[in-house]
Structure 1
């Protein structure tokens, strides 16, 4: 690395909390350097943090719904497991509907529509977390404060929905 590029890099990146404008946010082209651009970036980060909390609450609600739906489908026999072809296997015995204690599952069944959607929502949730983390790693104090405020407001608005029990 040449001394000129090392000097430019140290001038761009500050390794301490600061309020000075001019840091890149996520992309090299997103470079808020005026007070209006900084305000816009902070508002955008608050909205991303709010969306992250909403998505977390929505995901928990959907997981509860999917759990109830899987229980209903398995109770109706729609998701009943097929027996093995082997006659002397003890596990090949079909579960009778008169003995519900034998029908308990420890792991919910794989339902394609539920699991693909659950995986997609988790991927978006992880992406939002990484976006917020990268914004914090700029050490721009206005970004950090905006993210903390957005997460706090989002928790106030949506937090009660994200703690549901099956």
Structure 2
């Protein structure tokens, strides 16, 4: 009894406004699977290749974009190492009021100036400040602003590559992979320490 009431209620409902799945065009279905069309837009309708050479140019652009993305990761790794080196060099501080070891030795000897070699080379009026744990580097405009800009660049390039892949165009997909391969081949050795 309940089934009959339900089926009569369903028959009185208005038809859905969108066409059923079987009536959808094959073009809209084709974009949901990998395909080899050379007329797929990239990023906007204005960037739609209309010839094989335009499609090849778009694929070359994606190769370059993939290589730039991988190169920007290498640039970030290089900059991180430079910023860490600069921070570690800042750990040498002048100790006020403490006589240098060379002065103490020269006072004990004939009064001749003495140059004392230590493990850091020629002794200076500095001490190495050390901490037991790896500290978080202090916030600096000269480091953190370029770091943030590099992260935005890496992320933006990555999202552009992702959008190209989401077209499900086989040529675009292979171009992105080829660009990442090329970028890794050229700059991968710079990111090796950063990733481990």
Over 3 Å counting, the alpha-carbon distance change for 1:32 and 1:99 in structure 2 is closer
| Gapped regions of structure 1 (runs ≥ 5) | 78-96
Matched, 1:65 2:76: no
Deviations 1:95-141 (A, max 9, x none): xx768444865211111111000100110100000000000000000
| Structure (1 or 2) with the greater strand fraction | 2
Report the equivalent of 2:98: none
Query: TM-score normalised to the size of structure 2?
Result: 0.65
Structure 1 segments, 4+ long, off by >2 Å, are 10-13, 74-77, 97-105
Over 3 Å counting, the alpha-carbon distance change for 1:109 and 1:134 in structure 2 is same
Given that residues 60 and 175 in structure 2 are in contact (C-alpha distance below 8 angstroms), is that contact kept between their aligned partners in structure 1?
yes
Match of 1:116 among 137, 145, 163: 145
Superposed displacement of residue 35, structure 1: 0.7
Distance of 1:21 and 1:98 partners within structure 2? 66
Work out the number of aligned pairs and report it.
143
Report the equivalent of 1:52: 69
Given that residues 64 and 164 in structure 1 are in contact (C-alpha distance below 8 angstroms), is that contact kept between their aligned partners in structure 2?
no
Matched, 1:23 2:40: yes
Report the aligned-residue RMSD. 2.4
**Which has the higher relative contact order, 1 or 2, with Cα contacts under 8 A spaced 6 or more apart?**
1
Given that residues 57 and 161 in structure 1 are in contact (C-alpha distance below 8 angstroms), is that contact kept between their aligned partners in structure 2?
yes
Larger Rg: 2
Over 3 Å counting, the alpha-carbon distance change for 1:98 and 1:36 in structure 2 is closer
Report the equivalent of 1:152: 181
